Amino acid sequence: MKFIPTFAALLLANTIYADYSACRTLPVDGETGRCMLYHDNGQLKYGHPPPRGCLKTSAWALRPQKRWKTSQAIAQQPWSDSLQFPGAIHSKFTTSLQFASTDPKDAMPTFRIMDAEGQIVDSSRAPVDISPEEITKMYLDMLTVSVMDPIMQQAQRQGRLSFYMNSAGEEGIGVGSASALSSEDTIFLQYRETGVFQYRGFRLEEFMNQLFANAKDHGSGRNMPVHYGSRDLNIHTISSPLATQLPQASGAAYALKIQHLQNPTTVPKKVVACFFGDGAASEGDFHAALNIAATRSCPVIFLCRNNGYAISTPTLEQYRGDGIASRGVGYGIDTIRVDGNDIFAVREATLKARELALTGEMRPVLIEAMSYRVAHHSTSDDSTKYRSGHEIETWRRRDNPITRLRKWMEREGLWDEAREKEAQDSIKKEVMKAFNEAEREKRPRLGNLFEDVYEEITEEQREQMASLRRTIEMYPDEYDVDQFEGGLNGLDRR
């Protein structure tokens, strides 16, 4: 599977914007209100001009995008009863001087299926339509993340890892949403979605190889810990800069849409799922991504983990509006707020979001999943400096996504204390086995420092490699090259 050229997709979006200026000079059909244009074969087609370079692609002419009409085509037609302002074509006139205001009573509700005690809230609902095997997998995946996190946290404190971030309290969002996506869907993540990797089949050895930056790491040891990625699982590698994955996801979704429109019989519809936190929603990239996804009708699911804190900044200091969900509505995006600690609600909301995203001309959807960050922001953070231990413990004890699902499973006869102990012990052994093996692996070859920069090693790089070799040979006691694959010979070209 080749990764989607997201930057190229965004450039293509700008190209299409530029092409629309031509619509003002094209004749307009009196019945349809659409621009009329002729293809190379002289046949009359309706719709906006196809992207530059794709004039022979009939999909663009045969499938006019209703949301892409120019203001001229919408508002200023001879048969219109009145002029419509291009910037608000659905707004009605009023004689009442009234400002729109925010009222807590109008806050968007939070969708929930199962309460904190594992009880189905609405008894009239149909039974949970998930097989026992699938539910057990979802539970074990959450449990695996919850077992691995404290082990890695402790390893960092012991100096065996340089850094770590865990997902305590938010496991249900990652696993629940991942269970609703297709394996062919493309995913962009932030840094607290270990559950997505776990559900998709990312192995414990792969987690550990990345954390230890050893020779078996997919990224050749070049990234800081917790920056996982998997080409095989269609998950783009996590990047450190906050919110950069959002416009990338919009571009990827737009590229997938174009590929389908150009080859509808051979390229199926797919979505892009993009995960981010409430803090990332304060970045400009968030707004740019939602806007271009909405205006270009990109099949992308934006999934926000609202866990109450952006590092040390509580949400009450981040925004005054109705959370992140209200922003989606402002951009014309179908939006829902869901209880992120209810894995059934997260799964059902994501299933519906995927359906909406692929319906008709395709479109973006926003899910705001409400949760609480039980853990510190990272191993570099002490959250008790800005919140009380009582607050943390209350959330840990009273509303945990793993405990909530376990209560439901026990009530349904799918789980018990004996199975819990067996699973905990087994997972811990597997984690420690992968941990110890990864820790013993050698680091990548020294030559990797110079590779994958240019297509071929340059003359300047060869000089740098020779200089590094001379330095190591001059001060052998200062450089432990035995920990690297191939030792000093790892500088030799393959």
**The pLDDT of residue 35 is above 60:** no
Give the C-alpha separation, 340 to 325, whole Å.
Answer: 13
**The pLDDT of residue 173 is above 80:** yes
Are 163 and 156 contacting, i.e. CB atoms less than 8 angstroms apart? yes
The sign of the torsion formed by the CA atoms of 345, 349, 350, 351 equals: positive
Give the C-alpha separation, 431 to 198, whole Å.
Answer: 12
Read off the pLDDT of residues 436-493 as tens digits, 9 standing for 90 and up. Answer: 999 999 999 999 999 999 999 999 999 999 999 999 999 999 999 999 999 999 998 7
Candidates 4, 22, 17, 35; CA nearest to 292 is 17
Give the C-alpha separation, 471 to 76, whole Å.
Answer: 74
CATH number for the domain that contains residue 366: 3.40.50.970
Predicted pLDDT at 409: 98
Question: What domain count does the chain have?
Answer: 3
Give the C-alpha separation, 281 to 222, whole Å.
Answer: 27
Domain boundary among 69, 95, 119: 69
Least confident of 16-20, 252-256, 292-296, 443-447: 16-20
Q: Are 288 and 334 found together in one domain?
A: yes
Q: Are 173 and 255 found together in one domain?
A: yes
pTM of the model: 0.84
Predicted pLDDT at 105: 81
* DSSP string for 445-459: PGGGGTTTSSSS--H
Read off the pLDDT of residues 221-237 as tens digits, 9 standing for 90 and up. Answer: 999 999 999 999 999 99
**The pLDDT of residue 37 is above 50:** no
Candidates 467, 472, 437, 433; CA nearest to 450 is 467
Query: What proportion of the chain, given as a percentage, has pLDDT over 90?
Result: 77
Residue 256 lies in a domain: yes
C-alpha 199, offset from chain centre: 14
Residue 76 lies in a domain: no
List the domain range (segments joined by +) for residue 461: 446-491
